[in-house]
């Protein structure tokens, strides 16, 4: 496989010059119709909950000292979202996001398949439902054939975890399995993928701006340059993100930086996770962090505990504090542990300790 070459020489020069105030930010003409709510100081450490969350789940969040939760759904109306928010706020917590897997990864959109326009309209209505419910962030992913994995393996202490072997992985999303070598019967070009993204984002941005919603775009997982005949040329590398943000041309579109996914990519991402944090934060595009670790870059990795992978997560947290990151941070893809919720409690506790350490170090520094 070759290094990503999605951007022109001029764009590479632009990236090397840095995404500073005279770079990306100056190139974007912001014209939001509903002012974005300013982000209050501090990282919003957030617990993920299912749509079936109970009062016990909310108590669990409070017991861990978490002030924020995000809820995953497979659809839902404004009324559903508003009721979720009411219950969560009644428990003394705040909602950072209500996700919707029906419009999170949409092959119809990424690959221009039948039903594309209907899915885009569904996504726009989802944004309107969020805005009406008073929820002003969502994560979006633009993968045409899902998240790719191999059979589950064991990480530290025998904890079950997702694994990836390049030679035998398959894609999975929405109850579907995407089989190599060609998941959709042919090989797609990079130009098609870029055209399809442009078609989508140009329709979505006006609605996001009308509703005052920030959209954080998740990296391709894993960011292999091509899987199943579909290039991962946009959100599989740093240069692709830069170009995609230029096309979106909106203050409402930014980055959900999944640290684990970025680490999976290794050299293919173009910048390591620390550089990516600094560059995206510099221009106000860093909206959410998925705080997780993996054992190694592709072609083979296992998701592991945050303190057990090949990246020093203490340095990740220090970097986030140093750039004054004010967005959402979640534990994600947590390996299974004995005791059900134990893995989440361990991960959140570790994250909170790192956050305290990084802030204390900054004050003393």
Mean pLDDT of the chain: 92
Query: What pLDDT score does 362 carry?
Result: 83
Which are the contacts of 114, defined by CB distance < 8 A and separation ≥ 6?
108
Query: What pLDDT score does 132 carry?
Result: 97
CATH of the domain at 184: 3.20.20.150
**Could you list the residue range(s) of the whole structural domain that residue 127 is in?**
50-143+180-293+314-364
DSSP 120-157: HHHHHHHHHHHHHHT--EEEE---SS-EEEEEEEEEGG
Which stretch of 72-76, 121-125, 234-238, 318-322 has the lowest confidence by average pLDDT?
A: 72-76
Q: Cis bond leading into 69, ω under 30°? A: no
Count other Cβ atoms within 10 Å, centred on residue 90: 10
Query: What pLDDT score does 5 carry?
Result: 37
Averaged pLDDT for residues 17-42: 62
Percent of all residues in the chain with a pLDDT value above 90, rounded to a whole number: 88
Percent of all residues in the chain with a pLDDT value above 70, rounded to a whole number: 91
Residues 171, 219, 152, CA angle at the centre, nearest 5°?
40
- CA dist 136 and 215 (Å) reads 9
Residue 164 maps to a domain: no
Which stretch of 17-26, 149-158, 299-308 has the lowest confidence by average pLDDT?
A: 17-26
Query: What pLDDT score does 363 carry?
Result: 84
- The answer to whether 332 touches 347, Cβ cutoff 8 Å, is no
pLDDT at residue 3 tops 70: no
Query: What pLDDT score does 11 carry?
Result: 42
Total domains in the chain come to 1
Residue 162 maps to a domain: no
Averaged pLDDT for residues 321-333: 97
Q: What pLDDT, in 10s, does the model give residues 239-286? A: 999 999 999 999 999 999 999 999 999 999 999 999 999 999 999 999
Query: What pLDDT score does 29 carry?
Result: 41
Q: How far does CA 280 lie from the centroid of its chain?
A: 13
Query: What pLDDT score does 364 carry?
Result: 84
Query: What pLDDT score does 86 carry?
Result: 98
How many residues in total does the chain contain? 365
Residues 80, 83, 88, CA angle at the centre, nearest 5°?
125
Residue showing tokens 């994250």: 351
Query: What pLDDT score does 209 carry?
Result: 98
Q: What pLDDT, in 10s, does the model give residues 32-63? A: 488 998 999 999 999 999 999 999 999 999 99
Which has more pLDDT, 7 or 171? Answer: 171
23 pLDDT band, cuts 50/70/90, is very low
- Name which of 175, 34, 132 is nearest 124 in CA terms: 132
Which phi and psi angles does 304 have, rounded to 5°?
-135, -175
Regarding beta strands 300-304 and 293-294, do their DSSP bridges make them parallel or antiparallel, or are they unpaired?
antiparallel
Residue 161 maps to a domain: no
Residue 238 maps to a domain: yes
Residue 1 maps to a domain: no
Averaged pLDDT for residues 163-170: 98
16 pLDDT band, cuts 50/70/90, is very low
Query: What pLDDT score does 6 carry?
Result: 41
DSSP 154-221: EEGGGEEEEEEETTT-EEEETTEEE-SS-TTSSPPPHHHHHHHHHHHHHHHHHHHHHHT-EEEEPPPS
Residue 66 maps to a domain: yes
Residue 234 maps to a domain: yes
Averaged pLDDT for residues 332-340: 94
- Name which of 295, 293, 148, 289 is nearest 223 in CA terms: 148
pLDDT at residue 4 tops 70: no
Residue 43 maps to a domain: no
- CA dist 237 and 271 (Å) reads 8
Residues 355, 361, 365, CA angle at the centre, nearest 5°?
150
- Name which of 304, 228, 290 is nearest 262 in CA terms: 290
């Amino acid at each position: 496989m070759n290094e990503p070459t999605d951007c022109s020489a001029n764009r590479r020069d632009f990236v090397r010059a840095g995404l500073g105030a005279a770079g990306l930010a100056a190139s974007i003409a912001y014209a939001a119709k509903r002012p974005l709510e300013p982000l209050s100081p501090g990282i919003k450490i957030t617990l993920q909950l299912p749509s079936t969350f109970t009062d016990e789940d909310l108590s669990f969040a409070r017991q861990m000292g978490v002030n924020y939760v995000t809820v995953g759904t497979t659809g839902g109306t404004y009324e559903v979202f508003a009721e979720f928010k009411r219950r969560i706020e009644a428990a003394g917590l705040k909602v950072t996001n209500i996700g919707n897997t029906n419009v999170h990864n949409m092959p119809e959109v990424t690959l221009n398949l039948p039903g594309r326009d209907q899915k885009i309209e569904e996504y726009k209505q989802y944004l309107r439902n969020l805005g009406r419910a008073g929820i002003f962030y969502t994560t979006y992913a633009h993968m045409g054939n899902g998240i790719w994995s191999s059979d589950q393996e064991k990480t530290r202490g025998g904890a079950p975890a997702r694994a990836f072997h390049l030679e035998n992985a398959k894609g999975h999303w929405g109850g579907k399995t995407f089989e190599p070598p060609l998941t959709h019967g042919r090989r797609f070009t990079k130009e098609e993928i870029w055209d399809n993204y442009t078609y989508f984002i140009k329709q979505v941005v006006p609605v996001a701006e009308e509703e005052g919603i920030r959209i954080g775009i998740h990296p391709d997982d894993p960011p292999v340059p091509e899987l199943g005949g579909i290039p991962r040329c946009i959100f599989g590398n740093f240069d692709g993100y830069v170009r995609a943000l230029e096309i979106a041309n909106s203050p409402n579109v930014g980055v959900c930086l999944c640290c684990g996914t970025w680490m999976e990519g290794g050299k293919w991402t173009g910048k390591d996770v620390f550089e990516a944090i600094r560059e995206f934060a510099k221009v106000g595009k860093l909206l959410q962090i998925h705080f997780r670790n993996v054992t190694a870059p592709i072609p083979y990795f296992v998701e592991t505990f945050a303190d057990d992978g090949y990246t020093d997560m203490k340095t990740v947290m220090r970097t986030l504090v140093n750039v004054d990151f004010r967005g959402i941070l979640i534990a994600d893809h947590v390996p299974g542990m004995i005791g059900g919720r134990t893995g989440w409690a361990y991960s959140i506790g570790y994250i909170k300790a790192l956050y305290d350490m990084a802030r204390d170090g900054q004050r003393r520094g």
